[in-house]
Structure 1
Amino acid sequence: MDQVRAYKKVGDRRWRESRGVVYEDIEVGIIVEHRPGRTLTEADNIWMSLLSLNLHPLHIDDAYCEKTEWQRPLVSSLVTLSIVSGMSVQSTSARGLANLGWDNIRLVAPVFVGDTIYAETEYLDKRLSKSRPNQGIVSCATRGIKADGTLFLTCQRQFLLPTRDHDLEDQAGY
């Protein structure tokens, strides 16, 4: 993964942005720090709580939360998992053909409105698919880290990437 291309030449003095990686770009053991970070807002928390029907007062009721040990609403783990996963897409599965699942999701510290969060991903394993010879299965561990260095979320994920010779970019006009 010494050099991942960000642009593809598509004509004279014309380039197209190229997102993501293919199977051959993945190097097991590499850690990628995802940027930009994201400062969480009250709207993030309220909207996702309403969208997902997670109406637990710990996320949406200031008066209720004043009686908790934190004395303020917690940002829903559905928000933090979604944002951390989204932050990782550019460097993991932007060219993915399928997300195969998340495992071992752990929420290890509370997150609050106003916290700025970042993500990083370590590639754990990769192998060519037995049933799809032009695709590979990649396993990674992603961590959510607050700007102050506090680890708040860990998870593992698997996804399917095309091999370089079977990437869909050219076929799709990307």
Structure 2
Amino acid sequence: MDVPGWEGRFLEDFRVGDRYRHAGGRTITDTDNIWFSLLTSNNNQLHVNADYASKTEFGRPLVVSTLTLAIVTGLSVPDVSQNAVANLGWTDVKLTAPVFAGDTIYAESEVLEVRDSRSRPGQGLVRVRTRGFNQRDETVITFERSVLVHGRASRPGAESET
């Protein structure tokens, strides 16, 4: 099935060692941080209380780390998981530098593993290492992510094309 505007890699398009500099970036705002704190019930004062945060070593509120994870994952979707069946998990998440409102976050990924699924014909596992970095090219987060990805022949609607 050809869906207008449908892009992204299928299982056959991934090769170990491929690197993707994901398009665009995302500037994080105070509003993003407060909303995410509320949405996730994370009321740690370091994220939501500017007065408190001003008295810490950081001098201002930190962005919630899981917001950073979510944004960096989102930036990688067009290259890594646009044709995913499911995310299988994140491992080795490392938060290597603080993120503040006003920082612009970018991402890049490297393919570590590609293999056919043992239980789902026409689909396979893709494992990537992703790095999120700020406008100063400082790494702020790294992680590995495994995704179950459609092969071209198993994509939704493919059976109706034959």
The normalised TM-score by structure 2 is 0.94
How far apart are the structure 2 equivalents of 1:132 and 1:124?
Answer: 20
**RMSD of equivalent CA atoms:** 1.5
Q: Give unmatched runs, 5+ long, in structure 1.
A: 1-7, 11-15
How far apart are the structure 2 equivalents of 1:74 and 1:62?
Answer: 9
- Runs of 4+ with >4 A deviation: 169-172
Out of 39, 44, 53, which is 1:65 matched to? Answer: 53
Counterpart residue number, 1:43: 31
- Secondary structure in 2 matching 1:17: coil
- Secondary structure in 1 matching 2:143: strand
State the identity as a percent.
45
- Residue 19 of structure 1 and its aligned partner are, at CA, apart by 2.1
Counterpart residue number, 1:87: 75
How far apart are the structure 2 equivalents of 1:147 and 1:169?
Answer: 41
Q: Give unmatched runs, 5+ long, in structure 2.
A: none
- Paired residues for 1:89-104 under 5 Å: 89-104=77-92
How far apart are the structure 2 equivalents of 1:118 and 1:68?
Answer: 27
- Residue 166 of structure 1 and its aligned partner are, at CA, apart by 1.3
RCO higher in structure (CA 8 A, sep ≥6):
2
The normalised TM-score by structure 1 is 0.87
The amino acid across from 1:167 in the alignment is: R
Tell me which protein shows more strand as a share of its residues. 1
How many residue pairs get aligned? The number is 159
Counterpart residue number, 2:144: 156
